[in-house]
Amino acid sequence: MSTHIPDDPGPGDECLLLVHTRQVVGQVRYRICTDCARGVITAVVIDERFRSTGLGTRALSHLRSRHQGLAWRSTLHKRTTRDLLRRMRIPTTTSAAPCPHAQQTLSAAG
């Protein structure tokens, strides 16, 4: 289940909810710019009991298939997410904006 996050400060803020038997067990937050074909993952949260089940890999694979053709990066540096992103070959970045013109839009909104 994917949705735009209402009242979030930046344009393009999205959330992919991870659901197991009608219960939210995690989420992936991300921003995209379809003009530049770039996306950035800003958060991956998975309940402890689902961390070693491959749910994170399936979630990121779903995100890639849902937004085909985007070059993905991530702002995450924690060990648990760093290993997942390395396996998925998603490099890290320091900016939560997917591209330079989105960064300008985020700055103007703040």
Tell me the pLDDT tens digit for each residue of 53-80. 999 999 999 999 999 999 999 988 888 7
The model carries a pTM of: 0.76
Give the residue-averaged pLDDT of 17-41. Answer: 90
Task: Please state, in angstroms and rounded to a whole number, the distance separating the CA atoms of residues 91 and 73.
Answer: 5
pLDDT at 97: 67
Average model confidence (pLDDT) across the chain: 80
Task: Please state, in angstroms and rounded to a whole number, the distance separating the CA atoms of residues 17 and 24.
Answer: 7
pLDDT at 103: 55
Residue type, 66: R
In 3-state terms, what secondary structure has residue 60? helix
- Name the band, by pLDDT with cuts 50, 70 and 90, for residue 98: low
Q: Phi-psi region for residue 32, left (φ > 0), alpha (ψ -120 to 50) or beta?
A: beta
pLDDT at 102: 59
**Chain centre to alpha carbon of residue 70:** 12
Q: Please count the helices (runs of H) and the strands (runs of E) in the chain.
A: 3, 5
